[in-house]
Amino acid sequence: MTTGPETRAEFLSRPHGFATRMLDSDILHSFKQSKLTMLAALVTFIFIFGAAFAPWVAPHNPFDLASLNLLDSLLPPAWEEGGDPRFLLGTDDQGRDILSGIIYGTRASLAVGFASVIFAATLGISLGLMSGYFGGTFGTVIMRIADIQLTFPAILIALLIDGTVHGIFDNVTRADTAYWVLILSIGLSFWVQYARTVRASTLVERNKEYVQAARLIGIPPFLIMLRHVLPNVMGPVLVIGTINLALAIILEATLSFLGVGLPPTQPSLGTLIDIGQDFLFSGEWWITIFPGLALAILVLAVNLLGDWLRDALNPKLR
């Protein structure tokens, strides 16, 4: 690297594509600095990879009833006495492989987690942008609703929405709608943070010259918000999104554990823990402890990534 101001030729020769620009960025640099972050990223990647390619990664298919054998039921992990090398982490009472169950369960947990974060972010960003850009009564009403909702813990709101939705569609069974109800209730309990953050940044950006210029040449408000304001308020949203992913995974697991989330026919990690809890007392600890461990490791890794992203995107901390 040369020192001193960049010449025009040097500037033009610098990579300009999005991917190549990322490779040259501060964020990647700070990523390489922290071993813990790299480990967390690796763990998260392994979880996402395993979840995405579950049918190929998992050693068994826990939903294929033909492959189950009751003679294999309640086997301890392979390294314990009586374990079977075919089932690394043991089996449950139906002879299902715990490791495969965890891989498929992670798939469900991550699917709900990502979907609800995207839903919450979309809702929160749109409401925050509009409330900040237009201001007035509309903005105040949105923020008052946000304030009221913020007084209550997310778990309570998610439970209430879940119960209400099942009350409205009482002719549909829980299993059919479980995914959508979960995403709706988790998403609706997390939108406030995005809305508040985006509104605060929008209030600042709204009065800057580039927005005034855009308004002056007659770009409609909707496009100004989308193309000009939104990219400038995305930093904090990314941080909230990552931390929210961890929270959404916990919330989904909690709801499933409480019996109002995903049903045992399409289990998530929380459902697996709930099912396994009954076997704890008869000594079959592996049915619940391993899914619990997987959940804890996944959440810890995502949390660490979120912490790092918050520090990396905050220039004050450098």
Cβ proximity to another protein, 121 vs 269, nearer residue: 269
Q: Which of the stretches 56-64, 90-98, 215-223, 286-294 binds another protein when contact is defined by CB under 8 A? A: 286-294
Among 142, 245, 260, 272, binds another protein (CB under 8 A): 260
Residue 195 contacts another protein per CB under 8 A: no
- Asked if residue 213 binds another protein (CB under 8 A), the reply is no
- List helix spans (H) across the chain: 8-13, 18-23, 26-33, 35-52, 54-57, 98-134, 136-150, 154-168, 174-205, 209-216, 221-223, 230-232, 234-257, 269-280, 286-313
- Judged by CB under 8 A, does residue 283 bind another protein? yes
Burial 61-74 (b: 16+ CB within 10 A, else e): bbeeeeebeeebeb
163 binds another protein (CB under 8 A): yes
Residue 31 CA, chain-centre distance (Å), reads 20
Does 162 interact with another protein (rule: CB under 8 A)?
Answer: yes
Q: Compute the least distance from the CB of residue 314 to another protein, in Å.
A: 17
Q: Are 108 and 102 in contact (CB under 8 A)?
A: no
Give backbone dihedrals phi and psi of 68, rounded to 5 degrees, phi first: -80, 145
Does 182 bind another protein (CB under 8 A)? Our answer is no
* By the rule CB under 8 A, 250 interacts with another protein: yes
Using CB under 8 A, pick the residue from 152, 180, 210, 222 that binds another protein: 152
Q: Which of 187, 261, 292, 306 binds another protein (CB under 8 A)?
A: 292
Give the separation between CA 276 and CA 274, rounded to whole angstroms: 5
Distance CA 16, CA 29 (A): 18
CB of 152 to another protein, least distance (A): 7
- The set of residues, in sequence order, having a beta carbon less than 8 Å from that of 89 and lying 6+ positions away, is 77, 78, 97, 98, 99, 102, 286, 290
Answer for which of 15, 277, 278, 314 binds another protein (CB under 8 A) is: 277
Binding site for another protein (CB under 8 A): 147-148, 151-153, 155-156, 159-160, 162-164, 166-168, 170, 246, 250, 253-254, 257-260, 273, 277, 280-281, 283, 285, 288-289, 292, 295-296, 299-300, 303
